[in-house]
Structure 1
């Protein structure tokens, strides 16, 4: 039997999944760290950093756990795929050493630099060519390093996205993808080339960017050193890499215009495929090159992101007594729709794109001490996240994304009946839940990249749909009323 291995480099943990090629089913999975979450350093308010060496150590730990749980023969591993937290910035010197902690996705330090570039390059120009404001993306973070840490900037040999860095640790190759370039606003969609205009404006040399490889391709081979540490076979191909949201869509077989994926874990995201190069005039939702895009048939993923999703849920867990999440979901179900007027604004975790990149505080509104208890608080938090996702979905629809059915993994907040009910009724959507996750998606991608799957259809033959949920007319009016009330509270 042959296998595929997928790694998911998240900001809270590292996950590894092993798929059997013949069935397309996951046979083993591991997460590290298990009982805790990876630390995010906050040197100043609005900043967020992680140590890339810690990612690598947890990859090693997760691989060892996986092999202990399912002792497969490493020689039977046909390929390795990688997915990763988007928009991060890892800086390497000529010796391949990390120069500073990675500036990760929810860091807001570069917002003003991006806003200034948006204005001075011209908003119309940026949206027409980059489909985004430079905003708080990787290019702007690199500009921040150039302006504020010149001694470090002078030592940079290449920059890497988090998944690129893991691939480097596995293969010794410094590479990225077109999809990866687009997530950092290093890509000009109109010219199908590097965003040289932004690089010139920021006075950043294109030489700092790594070589470009295809998303689905043999991108490098596992080195002897990495193989020894991981307990795998030297020469195993690394044959897929993609950012977490394009990969989440891929893991759900979301590949064509009109198909939409969602996730509600560390961040809350809706990601829809669009074959036309359109942009939101206020850059509240963002477009990236999708994993299956080609020069002949471009496909873009339009993404709305809510930073304050997982962090709100974990904060609330502490408030209600460190209950397991399934018990928190049960608490939420005890309160009525609309939580008797209690409204949560689920922000407070860096600049929110749907609020035009403005830092925004979380807010709890309508609290009455003689009415509300932890059941109302639990429901208001889940509804607040759904309302924010719906608000972003409304923007996506205005930008041309067709959204009637949304696919999601049966995980994280989609495990909550209250969350699912609010999601389908507030957004007027059909929700399809699947037994998959990001690491499994990366493994399937590796199978396509190494050629053991001849087509996308073949790669997804083992994907299993668990349930379908539809809106209920009797509930829609109640949720729409609560959503309208929530919108009036937006800053």
Structure 2
């Protein structure tokens, strides 16, 4: 028997099949071969047609059944991971009324900021654990204000994963987890934040029916079965946003466990059971995949926009052939890069700096002394230092750190990067070879609540290596202090 997992990203649809008993990945693939289009009708807008997602779900599902050569009738459960914070609005027939306003669209920033002031910081941080910000609720308010003809025809609003579940089952439902990602969940009252919707003038009946995670959330209907090749009646038992799901994929489910991701941007995601936040403007707090009335597990998410994109920029401009070559060059330079410092925040506004644009800075560059090796090492160190800086913010916001796990992505393949982070934070970093689609598929098996077996299978199937803090911590600490001093000097000029 098999589980199937979908990971709806903004660039592609990933799908994975895993063996029910062992948790081993049978096959993973993605559609389309090239990236999906993102429409940008205006500067800082980002939209996608939800029906395109469904088309690629169908293609990818048929492909994986064919290429894996399995009997489709043996697929017994579905898990869904999806791009967070997006907005899909549909009419009573389930037809999207406009493109989805996706996660990286920033048109609703001022709407959320104004709500934070009008409703009060204490009310928002106590009940929502966040500022309304540029999230799903604020995007829905934007539609109401700017597209009244669309708004008056809305039957339900959904998160992207809710829409895929609807296409599979014909049932419009959501979860506490999804509503929390849209900043629509009141943790104090344990219900939808209707007071926020009332403030925005949004009809509260537009919220779909709420179902629990790790339970039957609906079954594949005959129409979806024909379009995807899945067996009619297959249950959906799990759905979550991509970052909480990535954490689950790394067996990050308990307070004190932390997932880190080092791609184009960086993410630190710490699980906690503390319903408090002092950093609601710099950190996002979401109901984790296993949030319940009995165990109120939250995910504290700190995002670093300027991460791997800096290393990619260097690769493209240093005439080197690969990241491996850059890592080798970086190894030729000493810890601290002989004084060369790189501040890596050149990928737009940084939330942890109150949405200010910091920029990338190359400091203390000596044209008679520094070379490619120093640039490569200083870049890796600068990105690593930003992770350490972010970890300190999380720790100051009631996050405990006992275990850190990362996927085997670009940055964490680098020994310099991983050793720097591990040594400065004083914790091992465990590296795993897994994906969001595989994690979503495995999560189907959690309906019986067996976290221990779930974790053992991940360790057995995916663990690659562990980076342990190095003994010569002082050299790393000295380099980090100098980096931090330069950053603080820049922040003063930005009045942060």
TM-score (norm: length of structure 1): 0.91
Answer yes or no: is 1:458 the counterpart of 2:419.
no
Q: How does 1:229-378 map to 2 (within 5 A)?
A: 229-281=227-279, 283-309=281-307, 311-320=309-318, 323-378=321-376
**Helix, strand or coil for the counterpart of 1:221?**
coil
Q: Is the 8 A contact 1:3 1:18 kept in 2?
A: yes
Q: Distance in 2 between matches of 1:410 and 1:320?
A: 24
CA shift in 2, pair 1:402/1:73, >3 Å: same
Q: Is the 8 A contact 2:65 2:72 kept in 1?
A: no
Shift of 1:366: 4.4
Q: Which runs of 5+ in 1 are unaligned?
A: none
Q: How does 1:35-50 map to 2 (within 5 A)?
A: 36-50=34-48
Answer yes or no: is 1:33 the counterpart of 2:42.
no
Query: How big is each residue's C-alpha offset from its partner over 1:16-39, in whole Å with a ceiling of 9 and x where there is no partner?
Result: 1111112111121112334x4333
Answer yes or no: is 1:24 the counterpart of 2:23.
yes
Shift of 1:309: 3.6
Tell me how large the CA RMSD over aligned residues is. 2.4
- Work out which of the residue numbers 154, 160, 163 in structure 1 matches 2:161: 163
Q: Distance in 2 between matches of 1:48 and 1:95?
A: 25
**Helix, strand or coil for the counterpart of 2:456?**
coil
**Helix, strand or coil for the counterpart of 2:296?**
coil
- Work out which of the residue numbers 105, 112, 115 in structure 2 matches 1:114: 112
Answer yes or no: is 1:420 the counterpart of 2:418.
yes
Give the match for residue 212 of structure 2: 214
Q: Which runs of 5+ in 2 are unaligned?
A: none
Deviates more, 1:40-49 or 1:175-184: 40-49
Give the match for residue 77 of structure 1: 75
CA shift in 2, pair 1:209/1:421, >3 Å: same
Shift of 1:153: 2.1
Give the match for residue 181 of structure 2: 183
Deviates more, 1:284-293 or 1:427-436: 427-436
CA shift in 2, pair 1:47/1:358, >3 Å: farther
CA shift in 2, pair 1:104/1:422, >3 Å: farther
Q: Is the 8 A contact 1:426 1:479 kept in 2?
A: no
Shift of 1:70: 1.3
Shift of 1:214: 0.9
CA shift in 2, pair 1:266/1:63, >3 Å: farther
Shift of 1:278: 1.0
**Helix, strand or coil for the counterpart of 2:177?**
helix
Shift of 1:390: 2.1
Give the match for residue 125 of structure 2: 127
Q: Distance in 2 between matches of 1:219 and 1:12?
A: 26
Shift of 1:312: 4.2
Query: How big is each residue's C-alpha offset from its partner over 1:50-75, in whole Å with a ceiling of 9 and x where there is no partner?
Result: 33233223323433442343111110
Q: Distance in 2 between matches of 1:333 and 1:48?
A: 39
Superposition misfits of 4+ residues, deviation over 6 angstroms = none
- Work out which of the residue numbers 90, 93, 96 in structure 1 matches 2:91: 93
TM-score (norm: length of structure 2): 0.90
- Tell me how many residue pairs correspond in the alignment: 486
